[in-house]
Amino acid sequence: MPSRVIAIHVIIPPTLAAQLDALFANRPLQSNAKVAKPLGISGRTLRRLGDQGKIRYRLKGTAHRQHAREDVEAYLTRDFAWARTSQDERTELRKRRSGTTISNSGRRANNRASSFAAARAREQRRRLIASLETLCMYFGGDTPLMAVTPDTIATAAARWARTALRRYNRRTDQVEPTKRAILPKLASVNRQIVEPMRRLLKYGKTVLGLPIDLEVFD
């Protein structure tokens, strides 16, 4: 089965772009709390995104984080090409906070944790791509989010429930059909169709500013 590459191009809404213009008009760097406000998330969520390497941040002193406009735009357009905060930088931050040094055993532990985090990030990315492929297959890659209704989600879920499962083969790095036809359970339908589409609709409303009524999907 040939591999597929999904390219997602996200355009920043004009209303959000205007808010960013006003925010960064006089200062090239803004605090964590001020950047979180136009994004519609809390400062704690923005800090967690920075810890996960999803948005770049600059340190002011030893603990205070600041963001530039290009950092916010890279996060909104899902451009992760910039160099993320490395494990060494996070270790140096902890050293400056506590005033202690890290031993060789501590460095080895950090390396093991970094390797585990990298493997987990790769697995999450693979699951994300597989989920997006499933949504494109059952909703259509050109279907706008504004056209998605509870009925379309129910129709896609019903189609998925009648489709035999396929398994990911780690040896071949391919998704292959099972030896005997197995239909997905209700929990699998929710996990593969309903929940990803709800998260995508929430992203469209909170980040892209689309007028989507999320209450009708509850």
Domain chopping of the chain, boundaries: 8-102, 127-218
Average per-residue pLDDT for the chain: 76
Closest CA to 157 of 198, 199, 193: 193
Per-residue pLDDT reduced to its tens digit, 51-87: 888 888 888 876 788 999 988 888 887 644 433 445 5
Report pLDDT for 142: 81
pLDDT the model gives residue 129: 77
Q: Which residues contact 78 (CB under 8 A, 6 or more apart)?
A: 8, 10
Task: Assign 114 to helix, strand or coil.
Answer: helix
β pairing state of 58-60 and 174-177: unpaired
Q: pLDDT confidence of 112, banded at 50, 70, 90?
A: low
pLDDT band at 49 (very low <50, low <70, confident <90, very high): confident
- Do 190 and 199 meet the contact criterion of CB atoms below 8 Å apart? no
Taking only the tens place, the pLDDT of each residue in 191-207 is 778 888 888 888 888 88
DSSP conformational letter for 172 = T
**SS3 label, residue 201:** helix
Q: CA dist 43 to 64, 70, 193, Å? A: 12, 18, 30
Alpha-carbon span 68 to 56, nearest angstrom = 8
Q: What sign does the CA torsion over 110, 115, 119, 122 have?
A: positive
Would you say 65 and 32 are in contact if contact means Cβ atoms under 8 Å apart?
yes
Residue 80: exposure state from Cβ atoms within 10 A (0-12, 13-18, ≥19):
middle
